[in-house]
């Protein structure tokens, strides 16, 4: 496939579309790369009659693209951006609206339609988009960004999580907007839907009381037995609550458990965990975490 390109020559960047190369035909269909064309449009300026002529020729070429393959989303996006580049915003919106009708399952087309729309109309476009692709995390997050009130953002995210409960991005966004009490509730549900994501477990543990945090971390270790950060967090929790004597035991158990699960953690990674503990003020945890590296314990697994 030959790229549809624009080349900067002479005085700055000018619009020079290599139409002869781009108009190769396979089975009567024009062969172009609309995605490459989108990139080229960013740096173009229309300065001369010749360049205006090139815009007209590009219109014809893209018309051929979308007519021969109306289900190809990049073609519609390229056509819309060409009109936007030429200052024809209304025409750009018309093209991308047609693209939405022809490529209803394309995230990129819907996002482009939102970008080209006025703020008051963008929400309506997104509503149509998520109705067509209810599992699109990108569309739901964009819908959230368009809202200006926290309550409305939260409403959008709740609806999104009904459709995509396994999206870590959606859970994290929802938690960021929630107060501490609601965040705890959200994270409790999040670790059920996304049990392999350590970050969610650790976030939940931070919001819990000491006893509850211990239970959360125990569940996390059972669910994700290959994650060193869970063990380090458990050690830091005990140290912060006056149980520093338990830290050496936790670290030894960590080495044994991780080795049993065939986890190979190199010295550099383990030292990073120790340094993070030191920065958070957990000096005992830091010292105990460094010992396996310094003394060469578990050398068979820790390389």
Nearest CA-CA partner of 187 in 177, 174, 196: 174
Residue 276 above 80 pLDDT? yes
Question: Phi, psi (5° rounding) for residue 30?
Answer: -70, 135
pLDDT on residue 50: 54
pLDDT band at 4 (very low <50, low <70, confident <90, very high): very low
Share of the chain above pLDDT 90, in %: 65
Kindly report the length of the chain. 303
What Å distances lie between residue 286 and 44, 104, 282, 296, CA to CA?
55, 53, 6, 16
What contacts 24+ positions apart, CB below 8 Å, involve 219-228?
A: 219/191, 220/191, 221/257, 223/191, 223/195, 223/196, 224/195, 224/196, 224/198, 225/257, 225/258, 225/261, 226/258, 226/261, 226/263, 227/198, 228/254, 228/258, 228/263, 228/265, 228/269, 228/270, 228/273
pLDDT band at 290 (very low <50, low <70, confident <90, very high): confident
Residue 119 above 90 pLDDT? no
Residue 12 above 60 pLDDT? no
pLDDT on residue 33: 52
Taking the CA atoms of residue 38, residue 42, residue 43 and residue 46 in that order, the dihedral angle to the nearest 10 degrees is 90
Residue 129 above 60 pLDDT? yes
pLDDT on residue 161: 98
Model confidence over 27-53: pLDDT tens digits?
A: 334 444 555 555 555 545 555 555 677
More confident residue, 7 or 74: 74
Please give the Cα distance from 295 to 253 (Å, whole number): 16
Q: Which helix (H) or strand (E) holds 241?
A: none
Residue 289 above 90 pLDDT? no
Q: Which helix (H) or strand (E) holds 67?
A: helix 49-68
Residue 5 above 80 pLDDT? no
28 burial level (CB within 10 Å; 0-12, 13-18, 19+): exposed
pLDDT on residue 20: 36
Please give the Cα distance from 132 to 146 (Å, whole number): 19
pLDDT band at 182 (very low <50, low <70, confident <90, very high): very high
pLDDT band at 13 (very low <50, low <70, confident <90, very high): very low
Model confidence over 44-80: pLDDT tens digits?
A: 555 555 567 788 888 999 999 999 999 999 999 999 9
Task: Walk me through the domains of the chain, giving residue ranges and CATH numbers.
Answer: 1-102 (1.25.40), 225-303 (no CATH)
Q: What is the mean pLDDT of the chain?
A: 84
pLDDT band at 99 (very low <50, low <70, confident <90, very high): very high
Model confidence over 184-195: pLDDT tens digits?
A: 999 999 999 999
Residue 270 above 90 pLDDT? no
What Å distances lie between residue 47 and 14, 52, 56, 78, CA to CA?
8, 8, 14, 20
pLDDT band at 157 (very low <50, low <70, confident <90, very high): very high
């Amino acid at each position: 496939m030959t790229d549809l390109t624009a080349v900067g020559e002479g005085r700055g960047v000018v619009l020079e579309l290599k139409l002869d190369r781009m108009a190769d035909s396979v089975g009567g269909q024009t062969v172009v790369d609309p995605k490459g064309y989108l990139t080229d449009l960013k740096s173009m300026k229309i300065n001369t009659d010749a360049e205006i002529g090139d815009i007209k020729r590009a219109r014809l070429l893209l018309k051929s693209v979308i007519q021969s393959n109306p289900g190809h989303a990049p073609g519609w996006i390229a056509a819309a951006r060409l009109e936007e580049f030429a200052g024809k915003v209304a025409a750009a919106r018309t093209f991308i609206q047609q693209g939405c009708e022809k490529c209803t399952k394309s995230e990129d087309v819907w996002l482009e339609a939102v970008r080209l729309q006025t703020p008051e109309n963008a929400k309506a476009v997104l509503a149509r988009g998520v109705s067509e692709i209810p599992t699109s995390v990108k569309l739901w997050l964009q819908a959230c960004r368009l809202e200006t009130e926290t309550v409305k953002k939260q409403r959008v995210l709740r609806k999104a999580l009904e459709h995509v409960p396994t999206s870590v991005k959606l859970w994290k966004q929802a938690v960021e907007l929630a107060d501490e009490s609601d965040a705890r509730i959200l994270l409790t549900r999040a670790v059920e839907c996304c049990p392999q994501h350590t970050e969610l477990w650790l976030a939940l543990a931070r919001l819990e009381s000491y006893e509850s945090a211990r239970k959360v971390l125990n569940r996390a270790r059972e669910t994700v037995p290959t994650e060193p950060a869970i063990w380090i967090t458990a050690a830091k929790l005990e140290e912060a609550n006056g149980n520093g004597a338990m830290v050496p035991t936790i670290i030894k158990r960590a080495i044994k458990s991780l080795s049993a699960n065939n986890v190979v953690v190199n010295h550099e990674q383990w030292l990073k965990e120790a340094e993070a503990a030191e920065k958070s003020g957990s000096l005992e945890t830091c010292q105990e975490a460094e010992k396996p590296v310094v003394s060469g314990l578990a050398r068979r697994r820790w390389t």
